[in-house]
Structures are given as structure tokens and as C-alpha cells.
Amino acid sequence: MGTTSTVDTYSNVLEFLCCRIRLKITSNIDASVVLFSVIPEIGSIVRSLGCFPTEAELHELLAEVEEEEPTGYINLEKFLPVMTKVLLHRSYQPIPEDVLLHAFEALDENKCGYITKEELVKYLTEEGEPFTQEEMEDMLSTALDPETNTVHYRDYISMLVVDET
Amino acid sequence: MGSGSSVNPTNYKYSLQKSENVQTLPDATHPAFKAAVLIQQWYRRYVARLEMRRRCTWRIFQSIEYACEQDQIKLHNFFSYLMDHFTPSSSKERDFISRMFISGESFKEAELEKYCDYESMEVPDSYTGPRLSFPLLPDHATALLEAFKQKQQLHARYVLNLLHETRKHLKQLPNISHVSTCYSEEVTVCGDLHGQLDDLFFIFYKNGLPSPSKSYVFNGDFVDRGKQSLEILIILFTFLLIYPKEVHLNRGNHEDHMVNLRYGFTKEVMQKYKVHGKKILKMIQNVFCWLPLATLIDQKVLIIHGGISDTTDLDMLHKIQRNKFISVLRGKKRKESNKDVEIQEINGESKVETESSESESDLSLSPQPRPAPSITNRLEFSKWLRQTVQEQIDWCRQLVDSESEPEEPTYSSVVSLTELDTQCWTHQEEWKQILDILWSDPMSQEGCRVNTVRGGGCYFGPDVTNKILEKYNLQFLIRSHECKHEGYEFCHNRKVLTIFSASNYYEIGSNRGAYVKLGPDLVPHFVQYQASKTAHTLTMTQRISRVEESAFRALREKLFAHTSALISAFKAYDKDNTGKISLSSWAMAVESVLHLGLPWRMLRPQLVRSTADGMLEYKSWLDDLAMEQRSQEHIQTSLLEVIYRNRSNLETIFRIIDRDHSGLISFEEFRQTWKLFSTHMNTELTDDGINDLVRSIDFNKDGNIDFNEFLEAFRLVKQSQ
């Protein structure tokens, strides 16, 4: 991470936090200590700041930040240092398109440019950090070609990459 | 404040479980394993980014929506201000002012019958729509549903007849309806419909029509925003009369003609019924005020539209004369016009607040963060972050302190309770009870505070919920009033349920609608839906992009409307007058002007096309924004800006002035409106400016202005599709 983008990231964190603070304060809510309710939000907060830890890493983070008695809230005092660590961790880098392509190719045994629905479901729901059924269905809804029941991964990747820009 | 619900909580739980119950350790070195991890990681990140975009968009819509509601209250403060400061200098001016306030007076019974008489209205033979006769039968209901599906319109005579009968029926009902689950097995509760007839059709299709074995509770906000509010009212009232024991309606904050003036219901009626529209509106006013305020299921579940406050008193609510409150948002009455001097403070906000809250330039600029330290020193960074955040907190506190009154009363101290005779509540106390029920929102923090975002009712915390539930031996509350992404949401430890039945409320694909069914065990079962064919065929990405586009368009318009204020704010960050500012300064300046509480840095890519090395040329950016809004070039841009900024208020004022709903106001009234408006809003509108404005309108109706044309000419009103 270069210096400019670092400052950017820090400023993003700041803005994000301040938005939350400001909203709560202007609605006359005392925000001196407690900021975030609902623990699953942490994942999206972290990701929105440009960091993409794996599920396992996320759980570790949560473990550090959660209160002993779960109140459903997360303490700002605890969150900031943990968040700092996450930001400075260099391993949360975006995945380049070609690496992603390689990954799909690794699952494509016959190297024919597509993976069948059954194979993909098997790999993604049994290997790695398995998808839930919901996640699998979501991905298939855009990735699957219903006529052939296959996923043409090159097209899929380029479609999603376009969407992002 | 409620916003979209959490991201995939089930996902999180499932993953947690999975990692805890791993029985066989997979071979992590296998290439397929690695590939799978990579793909899963990438996909989850993609979904998370989409979710963030969706939340951002949601926030945009919500802040604009609530800012608009706040406007409504400010408008009423404007009228109060007028009452106190404006001394009419001529009889013409006096008439003009009094017309603004006497609109919406409650008619005496006989007068109402006479004015809204329908019996003499003839229905021509050529009319092919449904013909109603009273008492109504189930066949009439099915005929109406069918007719509305075919986009037919019910003849005005039948509309008025229906409204008369509805009013008669509602008058007999108590303020709080009672429903029991032992008679009909289940009760279905629906939330806000907001004129979205397709959603109501869907609910009836999926859940069945009301019948002796199918009870329904409709929790308010049937009208406004959607285009078929009147049809929804007709259908609901019809079923109410056919199945009086099974169908229950609660009043919402939009069942209020003052709100309808702004949010579209009034306009809808006048467009559909050009001749009899005013009669219909008058009748509806007198039906809304008779709607019950709450419903109790089995004495255990309380259903109200908005929420509660720490002073909510069900005994008082039972006993007050609910029909006295034609509008919950009435301003002060002129002392001369009535023997009873009834003074109703709106929101406890005094006039002092009105004057100070408008001057945005008075707010001190937010503190600029010191430059971030180098990344290698983690300790330094931590400290910097903490300090900067603390500064922001302090600054925000200052902001709030400067806006609030010297002593910050919570609601309970404003309302004085008489100990002598409990029947003898002041009008203000009664009014506050109703306002709280119809306008409040739950919050996660404890306590009970003024709802400054909406401008009416309060924010109530889990402790308030517990207190009220305990006091009246209730199990939980059901309320509506807030749009939820999934159509429903629990809070306060599942003691408060929000149910919202208008799907795609902000835009196609923005949210689902839902209804809830309760059996004798009072365990809620939900049904969610999204009543739009297109919404289903769009992929998740497309849906989000579409809603996003809509949100950003609205946001860009808002930015344009504040051009002058933005320029001053930017200049303050550009002391050397280079014409450029940094992106952080841009974000802070924008927030200080718009007060929407949005993460501007995150939104920047969609709002600012190009930046050169992190600096923005603000003047050209604002010019680009201006070009997007089609404008009349010969009108001075500052005036145009004023129009845009206040368009909603303007429309509302026009409609109030136009008492006979003809769509025309006189030229003189038009100028008067502008003059009064500019005094209150602290804007400078020269006489020349107003003349330019008038000249740009092609009016040829003998000194009258068709204000619909005026508003549409300036794109102040959404073109009907």
C-alpha cells in the first residue's frame, strides 16, 4: 500500500466511524462508548474498508472484539486497535483477475473452459471454506448457463469485473 | 434508528458451526482445495461489496426521506412564525393568511352531509364500472377488485356514499380495537401500503381475502407516494363494512390531510376526480380522523403505526375524542378566529429554534484531521486515529448542543399532568399521546428522546418498551412506519416488530414487503414478497445498480439545490483560492451543508467523475451538476436553486392556498407566497427575480397561474409515467 492510498484508507475508516457517530449523536443518542450493534456487521464494516479477511480470520477478529458478556454491542475502545491491525496487515490484498482464472482452471479437469454445475457445487460446498446452500444458489443464479447446466468461468469473471468498475 | 438488517447472520452462524464441527481435516495442500478457497474468498468479498453498496444506497434514500419529513415540520413552524410575526397590512393580506390556516376545518355534521351530498349525483348509463348498494356484500368487494385490476375507476357517487357509510361505522368504534384469536384462527397484520395496489393484490392472492375466518389488521399509511392510494382506501373501507368484526384499520401518520398535501394523495384524488375531487377529499379528512388509533390482540399484542414514548398512556388513549385531531400537524390557531384559544406547540420546538436552525453558515467547520503518521509506527497510528475520532465526537457534540434549547427537556417535562381530575387532560397532552403513537421510532439506546430526524414523535429505547409492556401486561408491540429491507425487522430483544408491506418502496428492487400472521400462540409467521415482475428477473447486481442509480440521481439533485452554500463551504477550505480542494475537505464540506450523515468519501466515485492527484476543481464540478438539471437559462441560477431546494414546501404551500383545489392561484397570491417564503427562509429574492419567474410562465388564464404547469416546467414534480 502506497502512502497516498494508506492515508485514503485511514481517512475512510475515520469517515466511516464518524458517520456512525454523527448519525447517533445528531439523533441525540449518547455515543461515547458503544458504536456498533449486531456483531455480524463487523464483517461488512471490515470489508467496506477494503480488507478481505477469510472467514477464519474474521472469527479471530471478532473473538478479540467481542465483550465477555455479549451485549450485542462492540466497544469503540476495543475496536480501534483491532481495526488498526487489520488495516496494516498486508495480506488482505485484492485478488487479480488472472489468479482467479487460474483457480477456476484448476477445478476444470478437462480444461474445456467450463465447469459443470455438479462439479462446481461439489468443490465449493465441500472444499475450502465451504459455501452455504444460499451462497451457492446465489452464485449459480448469475454464473450458470441454464441450458447446458455449466459455468463458463471466463465469461462469468469478466462479467463481474465489468460490474465492479 | 432502524436501517437495513444485518448481513447474512445465518451465514455467519453456519460458518462458525462448520469450523467447530470439522470432523476430517481436508488436505489443505491439494490444488483443488486452494482453488476453492480462492474462489470462495473472492465471491464473498464481491457479495460483501454489493451489500455495502446496497446499504449506502439505502442510507441515501432514508436520509432524503427523513429530511423531507423534517421539512414538513419546518413548514409548520413557518406558519407558526407567520402567525406571530406577520401583521397583515391590508384586508387582502389578512384573507390570504387566514386561508392558509382555516383549510381543513372540521365541518359540523349537517354541513358535511350537505356539502358532500351524493344522492343527487346521477350515474350515467354509459358507466361500466361497479355499482355499489348498501349494505355492502362480498360480491361488491370482488367486483371492485376486478374493476381495479382492469384499471377502471369507481364513480364519484359511490365513492362518496362509501365514505359516508365508512364514517358512520368508524364513529361507533373505540379508539383501541380489540381482536381475539379464538374466533378466527389467525390474524394477519399488514404494514404501510402507501398506495401500492399491486402489493395489496398480492397479499390477498397469497393470504386470501378478508372473511369471517380470516382477520386482518392494516396498520396505517394506506395513502401517499404510490399512485393508487384511493383504490386502496376504497378496497379497505369496503372490506371494513362487509366484515366489521374481522377487518381492523389503524390510523397512520399519513392519514392526515396536511401530510397528503405534500406526499401526493391530494394530487391523486384531484387528478382522478376533477369535478368531485374536493368533496371526496373533504369526506376523507373526516374519515381519517375517525380511524382507530391502535389495535390489541388478545390483550397481549399492541399494534400501533409509529411507536410509543415514555409517557404513553393507554387509558388516556382509550378515552380521548380522537376525531378532534383532524390533522396531527395543525399549526397554531389565530386567536381571533376562535373562542377556544388552543395553542399547540409543535414538537416542543420554540420559535427560537426555527430562526437559528436555518442559518447553516453559522456552524463552525468540522476540525480537519492532522496528517496521518507513517504506517510503520502502529502505536502512532493508533493514537492518531483515536485522537481524531475523539475530536470528531467533541465537535459533533458541540453541534448538537448549539442546536438544542438551553435546557433540554425530554418530552415528559414539557407536558404537565394535572392531578386533580384525570379526565381533564389538556389538549396538548392528548395531542402528544397521538403524535407519539403515530410518529415515533425505536432506537437501540436506552431512554426517550425527541425525534429530530422526522420532526415528530420521539425515539424510544428498549427500556421504554419494557416499561410500557410491563405496565399494561403486554407481550410485544407491532408497528410499521419504517421501511425495512426484508419487509420486517425485530428490535428491542424481539419485543418490537416492524412490519412494512410496501415492496420496492424506494425503487424497483430496493426492498421486500411482508405481512405477519399470529395464531392463538401469538408466535409470528412472516411472508415476504416483492410485487414486481421485473424485480425477479434482475440479478442481484442489476437490482442493486438500478436502485443505486436512482439514489445517486436524487443525491445529485440535492447537491445542485445547495450550490451557493457548497461554494462558500468549499472556499473556506481553499484559503489560497486555487480553485481546488482535497477530497477529504470536499467530503467534510458537503456534509456540513447537507447534514445527511452519509459516508461521502465512499460515495465520491459516483458523484465526482474526475480528480487530478486527489484534488477536486469544485467550481467545474458544480457546473457539471447544474448542466444535468435542465434549467431555464434566463432565470438567475440562485433563484433556481432556491426553487429546487424548497420545491416540496412550495408545492405544499400552493396546494394549501388553492383551497378549492382548482390548480390555479392568482398572480398576486403567487407573489405573496414568494415574499413570505423568502422572509422566513432568509433567502434574497428580489422583486425582479420574482417577475422573471412569473414571465417565464405562460399564463393566459386572466391573472391566474396554473401552478402544476409551473412546477412541472421547472421539473419540480416527477412526471407521471
Closest chain B C-alpha to A150 CA, distance in angstroms: 16
Mean pLDDT of B114-138: 87
Which pLDDT value is given to residue A66? 63
Answer yes or no: is pLDDT of B409 > 50: no
Q: Would you place residue B401 in the very low, low, confident or very high pLDDT band (cuts 50, 70, 90)?
A: very low
- Which of A23-32, A113-122, A134-143, B628-637 tops mean pLDDT? A113-122
Task: Specify the pTM.
Answer: 0.65
Q: Which of A19, A41, A163 sits opposite B599 (nearest CB)?
A: A19
- Which of A32-41, B129-138, B529-538 tops mean pLDDT? B129-138
Which pLDDT value is given to residue B112? 73
Q: Would you place residue B160 in the very low, low, confident or very high pLDDT band (cuts 50, 70, 90)?
A: very high
Contact A128 B444 (CB under 8 A): no
Which pLDDT value is given to residue B604? 79
> Closest-CA residue in chain B for A103?
B35
Q: Which residues contact A34 (CB under 8 A, 6 or more apart)?
A: A73, A74, A75, A76
Contact B52 A48 (CB under 8 A): yes
Higher pLDDT: B47 or B713? It is: B47
Which pLDDT value is given to residue A55? 67
Q: State the DSSP code for B210.
A: -
Q: Would you place residue B495 in the very low, low, confident or very high pLDDT band (cuts 50, 70, 90)?
A: very high
The structural domains of chain A, with segments of one domain joined by +, span 3-88, 97-160
Answer yes or no: is pLDDT of B681 > 60: no
Q: ∠ CA A132-B495-B485 to the nearest 5 degrees?
A: 45
Does the fold of domain A97-160 match that of domain A3-88? yes
Answer yes or no: is pLDDT of A46 > 50: yes
ipTM of the complex: 0.72
Topology adopted by domain A3-88: Recoverin; domain 1 (1.10.238)
Which pLDDT value is given to residue B605? 76
Count of beta carbons in the 10 Å neighbourhood of residue A21: 22
Answer yes or no: is pLDDT of B690 > 90: no
Question: CA B660 to CA B196: how far, in whole Å?
Answer: 27
- Environment class of A32 (CB within 10 Å of its CB; exposed 0-12, middle 13-18, buried 19+): exposed
A133 reaches B (C-beta below 8 A): no
Which pLDDT value is given to residue B178? 92
Contact B39 A128 (CB under 8 A): yes
Mean pLDDT of B673-683: 62
Higher pLDDT: B77 or B495? It is: B495
Mean pLDDT of B418-434: 65
Q: Let me know: does B230 contact B170? Beta carbons within 8 Å.
A: no
Q: Which of B443, B539, B584 sits opposite A141 (nearest CB)?
A: B539
- What amino acid is encoded at B216 in this protein? Y
For residue A48, the chain B residues in CB contact (below 8 A) are 48-49, 52, 602
Active site residues of B: 254
B135 upstream amide cis, omega within 30 of 0: yes
| In CATH, A97-160 is 1.10.238.10 | yes
Question: CA B79 to CA B85: how far, in whole Å?
Answer: 10
For residue A44, the chain B residues in CB contact (below 8 A) are 7, 48, 51-52, 55
Closest chain A C-alpha to B387 CA, distance in angstroms: 11
SS (H, E, C) B373-405: CCCCCHHHHHHHHHHHHHHHHHHHHHHHHHHCC
Mean pLDDT of A55-81: 63
